[in-house]
Amino acid sequence: MNKAVCSVSPVIYLYRLGAIEWLPKLFDRILMPSVVLEDLLQARFVGYEVPSPFDLPWVEYEDPQLTVPSAWLSLDLNSGEVAAMSLAFENPDCVVLLDDPMARRAAAAVGVKCWGTLKVLMEAKRRGLTPVIAPYVERFGKAGLWLSDDFRRRILKLAGEVPAEHTRPRIG
């Protein structure tokens, strides 16, 4: 296990899926930039279903020290994504948790390893934290992340779980 740097969306989705406690089991250290902390506090203040940062004692708050790559500033990324990507860039042994496709491409372009919420679920299954991910994948829409039926089936197939509508009935 290594370190992870969190942007806000994977934290929110994992919380809403009931899987937020997997993060300290998957990583030795979990870093969060202060701007992500502020995003969570503000969202909670206005009534969104997000975790209280104070209920995540395993999170360490740290801000990036280096200047961000200028190409990132021209992209339509939020400040939490840029801060998380920058902090991961400064810590080469880190994985950055991002769901935004543009942010993931930008981070990967400079060699930052990225995981999305689905990768966290897959890794949790691989490490024995859950026997199946299908119930979590099925709840993604309610958690606020839309997945097409085709994409959902592909994820479950990758996880070695065949969706129920694709199983053949037993005869005899």
The CATH code of the domain that includes 116 is: 3.40.50.1010
Residues spanned by the domain of 42? 3-129
Mean pLDDT score of the chain: 88
Q: Is 114 contained in some domain? A: yes
Query: How many Å apart are CA 31 and CA 3, to the nearest integer?
Result: 7
pLDDT tens column, 96-120? 999 988 899 888 888 899 999 999 9
Backbone angles phi, psi at 6, to 5 degrees: -100, 135
Task: List, in order, residues 6 or more apart from 112 with CB less than 8 Å away.
Answer: 85, 88, 89, 94, 96
Q: Considering its fold, how many domains does the chain have in total? A: 1
| Per-residue model confidence (pLDDT) at position 44 | 94
Q: Is residue 117 part of a domain?
A: yes
Over residues 129-145, the pLDDT tens digits come to 999 999 999 898 888 88
Residue 119 domain-assigned (yes or no): yes
Residue 152 within a domain: no
pTM over 0.85: yes
Neighbours of 18 (CB within 10 A): 12
In a domain, 61, yes or no: yes
Is position 151 within any domain?
no
Q: Is residue 153 part of a domain?
A: no
Q: In this predicted structure, what is the pLDDT of residue 142? A: 85
Query: Residue 92 — very low, low, confident or very high, per pLDDT cuts 50/70/90?
Result: confident
Residue 94 lies in a domain: yes
